[in-house]
């Protein structure tokens, strides 16, 4: 009985030398890449032909038989595959056509931005403003949560809550609104979105001439709202108030909001 061929660990460098990278087949007649579970035949052919197993298609341990010596090839852990952006970056239209995008993906400066897991504060704050504003906005305006807006070809952000002109809502299959229809954009800050919500998005919203911007932050479990209004002469936002516990404004429509309602009742009753 012929003893089994010795099993050796094959360094990656030798694997690259043994395989022809252009054809995915053994580079020399003395090397054959075999699938898991198949015994090495001690020669350069398996059942009369080379077995083409390109290294990048292996799903489990494979073995390279070189001149009768059996060498183990352990595949590297698969790396996540990300979509490669085209020259110039992704466009606003791409958000509707790219497959398998995570929910609430945004486009900022031609780059895809994925959201982190939602915190309880974020969820409660978004729901609070959505439902409170529904009863406060005039009849010609609509409140929509987590919906993208077109700013330009390379920017399609998704504010947490927006107030838009009612006439822009025409089709249940709509996936975005033009920025010109937005009267108010609200962002609830998460740890990972802090810079975007404080610096990046306000600049873009102002450039799109969105008249009002509210930024909601979590300060020790309590909501603080920073209110901004577009200054026509500069085209930039100016601060018009910082609100704790209670928020009372007259534009873009009258609103008197109890911000403590965002905090869970048990937490509000016992802040310590």
Side-chain half-sphere of 236: how many Cα atoms within 13 Å?
Answer: 6
Same-domain pairing of 257 and 187: yes
| Residue 143 to residue 131: CA distance in whole angstroms | 8
How many domains does the structure of the chain reveal? 2
Same domain, 20 and 105: no
Whether residues 64 and 160 fall in one domain: no
Residue 254 and residue 186 share a domain: yes
- Is 109 within a domain? yes
- Is residue 85 in a domain? no
What share of the chain has pLDDT > 90, as a percent? 64
The residue range of the domain holding 210 is: 92-269
Question: Per residue in 80-132, pLDDT tens?
Answer: 566 788 898 999 999 999 999 999 999 999 999 999 899 999 999 999 999 99
Shared domain check, 107 and 66: no
Domain co-membership, 211 together with 120 = yes
Q: Last residue of some domain: 44, 73, 102?
A: 73
Name the domain boundary from 45, 73, 101: 73
**pLDDT number for residue 133:** 99
220 and 102 co-located in one domain: yes
pLDDT at residue 23 greater than cutoff 90 = no
Confidence (pTM): 0.70
CA nearest 197: which of 170, 161, 164?
161
83 domain residue, yes or no: no
So what's the pLDDT on residue 269?
54
Does residue 86 form part of some domain?
no
Handedness of CA 192, 122, 208, 213 (dihedral sign): negative
For the cut 90, the answer to whether the pLDDT of residue 74 exceeds it is no
Q: How far apart are the first and last CA of the chain?
A: 78
Q: Is residue 87 domain-resident?
A: no
Q: What's residue 264's pLDDT?
A: 84
**What tens digit of pLDDT does each residue of 189-241 get?**
999 999 999 999 999 999 999 999 999 999 999 999 999 999 999 999 999 99
Local confidence band at 47 (pLDDT 50, 70, 90 cut-offs): very low
Residues in contact with 71: Cβ distance below 8 Å, sequence separation at least 6, in sequence order: 7, 8, 9, 10, 14, 63, 64, 65
CB of 254 closer than 8 Å to CB of 232: no
């Amino acid at each position: 009985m012929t003893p089994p061929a010795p099993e050796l660990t094959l360094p990656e460098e030798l694997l690259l030398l043994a395989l022809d990278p252009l054809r995915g087949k053994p580079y020399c007649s003395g090397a054959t890449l075999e699938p898991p579970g198949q015994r090495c035949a001690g020669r350069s052919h398996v059942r009369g032909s080379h077995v083409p197993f390109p290294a990048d298609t292996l799903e489990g341990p494979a073995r390279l038989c070189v001149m009768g010596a059996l060498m183990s090839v352990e595949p590297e852990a698969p790396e996540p595959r990300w979509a490669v952006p085209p020259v110039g970056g992704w466009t606003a239209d791409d958000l509707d056509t790219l497959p398998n995008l995570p929910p609430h993906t945004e486009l900022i400066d031609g780059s895809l931005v994925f959201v982190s897991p939602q915190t309880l504060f974020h969820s409660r704050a978004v729901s609070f403003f959505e439902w409170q504003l529904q009863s406060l906005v005039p009849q010609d305006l609509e409140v929509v949560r987590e919906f993208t807006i077109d700013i330009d070809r390379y920017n399609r952000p998704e504010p947490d809550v927006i107030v838009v002109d009612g006439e822009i809502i025409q089709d249940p299959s709509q996936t975005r609104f033009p920025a010109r229809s937005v009267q108010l954009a609200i962002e609830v800050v998460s740890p990972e979105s802090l810079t975007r919500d404080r610096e990046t998005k306000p600049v873009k919203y102002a450039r799109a001439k969105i008249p009002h911007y509210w930024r909601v932050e979590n300060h020790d479990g309590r909501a603080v709202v920073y209110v901004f209004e577009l200054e026509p002469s500069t085209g930039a936002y100016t601060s018009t108030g910082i609100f704790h516990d209670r928020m009372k404004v007259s534009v873009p429509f009258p609103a008197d909001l109890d911000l403590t309602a965002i905090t869970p009742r048990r937490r509000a009753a016992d802040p310590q």
